[in-house]
Structure 1
Amino acid sequence: MAYSLTTWLAVLSFLWLLSKVARKPRHPPYPPSPKTPWPIIGNALHVPRLRPWLTYRTWGKENDNKIFHLEALGQHIIVLNDIDDAIELMEKRSSLYSDRPHMPLLSLMGMDINAGLLPYGDVWRQHRKVYQQGFRKEIVGSYHPIINEKCTKFLQRMMAQPEGLKEHSEFYTASIILSIVYGHEFDSSDDPILVTTKRAIELSSPEFVSGSLLINSFPVLLNIPKWLPGGGFHDVAAESRKALHDMVEMPYEVVMSRMQSGDNKPSLLQDLLEKQRAKGTYDISVLKNVAGIAFAAGVETTETTLESLFLALAMYPEVQKKARAEILRVIGTTRLPAFEDRPALPYIEALCREVHRWRPAVPAGVPHATTHDDIYQGYFIPKGSLIFFNTWGMTQNQDIYPEPEVFKPERFLDADGSLNDDDRHVVFGFGRRLCPGRHLAIDVIWLTAARIIAAFELSNPRDPVTGQSIDLDVHQYTGDLFSHPPRYVCTIKPTGVAALLRSDVI
């Protein structure tokens, strides 16, 4: 006898309800759910696909919950909207909350080279140790000459072609990190290493976080032939694997070729290779992976933050005016700001903190996973749960940051104009999964902000007919893992200090 799909669903739903009634709870309740789960599939249809950070924040406000629970196809999801909960779980209980979700699709895509996505364990520790060798705070200071040089060239490109701000920003961030990591210099956006890396980033992000729930919940679906409906992911995964392989191998071969020919140029990868050779340990794959992902992740996050910086400066001329006044008072007009000036420029520092808060580059965070069952505030959090820390919800918390939509550096200053103690950058994550490249990113953003404010005046575009200012749209950020602002054109006018860019005095 043939049964319809509706009949089978009805039977399965009845059995599911029967099992729920018969099952005696053996643990405390889960955190409250913002939506009533469906039989069998749970909250699978409720999990937001587009800009999840906005939905998570709305759910938290509507239900007056800072922590809530979803269950989708058997996968438990815990969302944290409050920074105190994130600190308690992912830092104070880091031994339980430092894993990453098991997503079989990642390996198929070649993303298992990314230390940020590796499961908590010895392989991850190997990668993390290498990252710390190259990007701890005291080491990043040695990269300041490179940042200084690239920043000057970036400003010169802006002055020559102000309408190409986005392209200049992409080129700028890539040139810094390629120079630091590989000692690789390039003059064109057609550079093969740059093109390959950009393609790898496009193919490998961000679907593994916000989508592919069905495949990751039922790995058997990976066996679907690519010629069957639904099997098209095989082609995308194959292209991603090749692009990621090339992204890692191409610059490594460049460094090795230079080393073998004696034409050495200082770079992080060469330094790591020489240190491992001296110690007699030589795990090339770890070094190649660390270098490749440091470049890819660093370019994407830093570029996104710069885009938000320029947007904020154009939208808030009064902020820009205060910042420029501080620079003129401390430095004058005979040179551009330098890292040595940083302690004397608290408003610029507060402005940079506000950029990270106002529009975090990764607003939904990268999910953690639990290695064991846990109980928190009387709620049960099972082993294997996905833990999302909603960065957006934390940085837009109006109880901590009144009028959170407003770009206001003063919120990081005391009454006397000195920096307050709110120096925690939640945008870089928590606990043992804290972004290892954060010190480099913070330094790049600071020098860029200080110099661009000194050399240029950014403002909203103007209507070519009426001459009236056109407000920029700040709300249509992309819904990806790395959330970019909408493409915008702002008016860029050189100040008197910009003349220094044509001379050797910087």
Structure 2
Amino acid sequence: MDAVILGVLILLLSCFLYTKWGKMYQKRNLPPGPTPLPLVGNIFHMKRGEMVKSFLEFSQKYGPVYTLYFGSNPVIVLCGYQAVKEALVDQGEDFGGRGKLPTIDQYMKGQGVTFSNGETWRQLRRFSLSTLRNFGMGKKSIEERIQEEVGYLVSELRSYKEKPVDPHHILVQSVSNVICSIVFGNRFEFDDACFRDLLGMFAATFKDMSSSWGQLQDMLPNIMNHVPGPHLRINKHLDNLSKFIEERVKRNQETLDPDSPRDYIDCFLIKIQKEKQNPTNSFDMTNLVMTVLSLFFAGTETISTTLRHAFLILIHYPQIQAKLSEEIRRVIGENRSPNIEDRSKMPYTEAVIHEIQRFIDVIPMNVPHLVTRDTTFRGYNIPKGTDVYPILYSVHRDPEQFATPLKFNPGHFLDEDGSFKKNEAFMPFSIGKRICLGEGLARMELFLFLTSILQNFTLTSPMKFTDDDIAPKMCGFANFPIPYQLSFIPR
């Protein structure tokens, strides 16, 4: 009997403390959300391994702007086009910081163009944009470098002799060669074992970040940093990648000609020398390595994953593939390579590429943002330093912006006359001050790779796919298509 009474008292005390705990958090005038538990926050409200789905379900209950707690830290979640646009564009200065991403923050330490803040970020971004836009990366333009790499890819695909293959590795290698040409000044052969190992580390990093373990680390870093698991491999992957970049930097230093830069690394090294007397400059070896690492992440896995998903979709919808091929033959023909000027004359191709990016949501949660000063948003007080998650998946599935948000439909980007139609809710590269600095390069790559491959091949597969097979698999940081095989049939 005493044990029963004690149990009841403990239960009542727990309920009392939980209620008081909830009221304490409500006084902060943050957006609504589930009451967090001490130490662990809302971790038990999240579905294991389904972070994005959990975010969407919370928005149905608490609205488009709500608060979750990762441990004791509040995170503001934004769902739907209007909420994301109001924060990242209308109040872009307030929401323009880079938030915490614990899976890689231990290694990046707020350095490099993607993960820095304040004046360091402004200097690195301004320099990187200027270099990518104006330098043209040596004697060849960026477009010419992409076209050259596409030529190597087409030759490699022809060598398969229509044999069914998994396109994963060859696409990763080919796309990564574009950024290698820009950053290092040269490409790698497809059979280069060192290159394959390098790309394997990138893929492993993305996979571990998106795993259930990686998601737990992002929510409870103070605990998960001391718990054994695959998430602890991420730092090792990043360390190996950084060592490779450091070796390339040393090679460039030994042969650097300040009057004739060959690649992005040369430009950065020259900038380091020019700014060395400036006490407020952010150009040093650490920021060079971390920026190159960031460029690789943005320019390898995301584009190659988009192309893999694109091929899967086009196999599932042969009528769309046929219509793309017809537009390619009509505008480009068979005797020359596609160029970026063709894009404005190919509305259906442009619409399909946009719809592929909308539908697959490679980075569904965006990279976290940060509130840079105390601000008011929709009547709520959000303190400086609060992390913000603008959920891009919710924008791309907003029924007020897209007629059939859950279905693949190129008509989302076509008007009644068949002309290409922009949609402000299209933001696979994010939006606002933190929009991906490689957007122009990525758009160019997607167009030239896709049109060149469809100009030369018909895509078929011995496998049959369903609508569910082609849909993005919402898990964590990144979405990946299912494994599959296809044949490249020469035209």
User: Which TM-score band (shorter chain)?
Assistant: 0.7 to 0.9
TM-score, reference length from structure 1: 0.81
Determine the structure 1 residue equivalent to 2:3: none
- Aligned partner of 2:363 in structure 1 is 362
Match in the other structure for 1:216: 221
Q: How does 1:93-492 map to 2 (within 5 A)?
A: 93-102=91-100, 106-110=104-108, 112-118=110-116, 120-136=117-133, 139=136, 142-161=141-160, 163-193=165-195, 195-196=197-198, 198-199=200-201, 202-203=204-205, 206=209, 210-213=215-218, 215-216=220-221, 230=227, 236=233, 239-240=236-237, 242-259=239-256, 266-277=262-273, 283-422=284-423, 425-461=426-462, 471=466, 473-475=469-471, 477=473, 479-492=475-488
CA deviation after TM superposition for structure 1 residue 193, in Å: 5.0
CA distance 1:166–1:487, shift in 2 (3 Å): same
Contact 1:330 1:345 in 2 (8 A): yes
1:213-246 Cα distance to aligned partner (Å, 9 max, x none)? 565356xx86x6xxxxx36689636624532431
* Equivalent position of 1:82 in the other structure: 80
> In the alignment, residue 206 of structure 1 is paired with which amino acid?
M
Equivalenced residues, count: 471
Q: What are the ranges of 5 or more consecutive residues in structure 2 without an aligned counterpart?
A: 1-5, 278-282
Q: What secondary structure is seen at the aligned counterpart in 2 of 1:389?
A: strand
Distance (Å, rounded) in 2 between the aligned partners of 1:380 and 1:370: 11
Change (3 A) 1:321 1:38: same
> Alignment partner of 1:303: what SS?
helix
> Which SS does the other structure have where 2:376 is aligned?
strand
Distance 2:28 2:166 in 1: 58
Give the counterpart letter for 1:88 in structure 2. E
* Gap change, CA 1:189 and 1:317, over 3 Å in 2: same
- In structure 2, the residue matched to 1:493 is 489
Amino acid at match of 1:127: L
- Is the deviation greater in 230-239 or in 365-374? 230-239
1:417-449 deviation digits (Å, cap 9, x = unpaired): 222232664111122211111111110001112
- Cα contact 1:169–1:306 (8 A) shared by 2: yes
Secondary structure at 2:167 match in 1: helix
- Are residues 359 and 6 of structure 1, via their aligned partners in 2, closer, same or farther at CA, if it must alter by over 3 Å? farther
| Paired position in structure 2 for 1:466 | none
TM-score normalized by the length of structure 2:
0.84
Cα distance, 1:357 vs structure 2: 0.6
Instruction: Kindly indicate whether residue 31 of structure 2 is the aligned counterpart of residue 31 of structure 1.
Output: yes
Task: Map Cα deviations across residues 380-417 of structure 1 (whole Å, 9 max, x no partner).
Answer: 43443321111111112233212223322222122222
What is the CA distance between 1:267 and its match in structure 2? 1.5
Measured at CA, do residues 271 and 110 of structure 1 come closer, stay the same or move farther in structure 2, by a change above 3 Å? closer
Is the contact between residue 189 and residue 195 of structure 1 (CA under 8 Å) also seen in structure 2? Answer: no
Q: Runs of 5+ in structure 1 lacking a partner?
A: 225-229, 463-468, 496-506
Query: Partners of 1:24 and 1:64 in 2: how far apart?
Result: 15
User: Given that residues 174 and 194 in structure 1 are in contact (C-alpha distance below 8 angstroms), is that contact kept between their aligned partners in structure 2?
Assistant: no
Q: In structure 2, how many angstroms separate the alpha carbons of the residues matched to 1:239 and 1:232?
A: 13
The 2-side partners of 1:456 and 1:24 are apart by: 59
Amino acid corresponding to residue 47 of structure 1 in structure 2: M
Q: Deviations over 1:330-379 (max 9, x none)?
A: 23333332223222112111111111111121011111122333332233
Percent identity of the aligned residues?
24
* One-letter amino acid matched to 1:123: T
Distance 1:10 1:238 in 2: 44
1:184 Cα deviation after fit: 2.6
Deviations 1:42-76 (A, max 9, x none): 4221134424223323443x438222222343221
Report the AA paired with residue 359 of structure 2: W
Q: Which residue of 1 aligns with 2:280?
A: none
Query: Conserved in 1, the CA contact under 8 Å of 2:36 and 2:69?
Result: yes
Map Cα deviations across residues 168-195 of structure 1 (whole Å, 9 max, x no partner).
Answer: 1011111111011111322135443552
Shift of 1:151: 0.7
What residue is the counterpart of 2:54 in the other structure?
55
Aligned CA distance change for structure 1 residues 6 and 480 (closer, same or farther; 3 Å) = farther
What letter matches 2:374 in structure 1?
D
* Cα displacement (A) at 1:90: 1.7
**Which region of structure 1 is more displaced relative to structure 2, 482-491 or 158-167?**
158-167
